[in-house]
Amino acid sequence: MRPGSGTLTDVTVRTFWDSRGSNNDADLDLSAFLLNDAGVVASDSDFVFFNNPVSTNGAVKHSGGAGGIVEETVTITLSHLPSAVTAVAVVATVYNGLGTFADLCDAVFAIEDAQLGPIVNFEINEQRPAASALVYGRIVRDGDRWILDADGTVASDLLAVAKSFGVNV
């Protein structure tokens, strides 16, 4: 986000793809890491994903979808995050590292805000086809507002990303 363009409030992060044209084993997962000033999670419960779908205080929630167009969603109510959380990293990964984003048909990573509307639609399989894990960006506390900082870091899998953010796995 550009300075002066407003503040994020209630963020929805989505990944979606067309399973009908994808490699049948390919599955796209979405996760969020609630980070402190050191850039790591304070506890493993600050890692929100399919096996831990709600953060301890309920500010971050993960849900999955089904059907021809498959979708996963993370919602973040920024005003409910504790003051010790200074950023939320949003990550997309190919499930269990099986394959790459190229194995997914029409895979998109989208971020929108309740007040600001759509912020970004990123075609993962077009922009990062050889990757299997992508730290798309961080929603960062900037004084009294929240902004989106693009990241683009790729990793081998979700395990590598989780370890980089201090999760004990």
Whether this model's pTM surpasses 0.75: yes
Nearest to 74 by CA among 13, 123, 145: 13
Segment (H or E) for 111: strand 105-113
Per-residue pLDDT at 109: 85
Instruction: List, in order, residues 6 or more apart from 120 with CB less than 8 Å away.
Output: 109, 110, 111, 148
pLDDT in tens, 15-57: 887 655 555 566 778 999 999 999 999 999 999 998 999 999 9
CA distance 131 to 11: 25
Per-residue pLDDT at 2: 45
pLDDT in tens, 89-139: 999 888 755 677 777 777 788 999 999 999 998 887 666 767 788 898 999
Per-residue pLDDT at 20: 58
Per-residue pLDDT at 91: 93
Instruction: List, in order, residues 6 or more apart from 53 with CB less than 8 Å away.
Output: 61, 62, 63
- Pick the most confident of 52-61, 68-77, 148-157: 52-61
pLDDT exceeds 90 at position 88:
yes
Per-residue pLDDT at 76: 98
Domains and CATH numbers, the chain: 10-164 (2.60.60.30)
Nearest to 139 by CA among 159, 121, 112: 112
Instruction: List, in order, residues 6 or more apart from 45 with CB less than 8 Å away.
Output: 52, 55, 56
Nearest to 32 by CA among 43, 14, 47: 47
**Lookup: tokens for 94:** 């190919």
Per-residue pLDDT at 43: 96
DSSP E strands, 38-99? 47-48, 60-64, 69-77, 87-94
Per-residue pLDDT at 131: 79
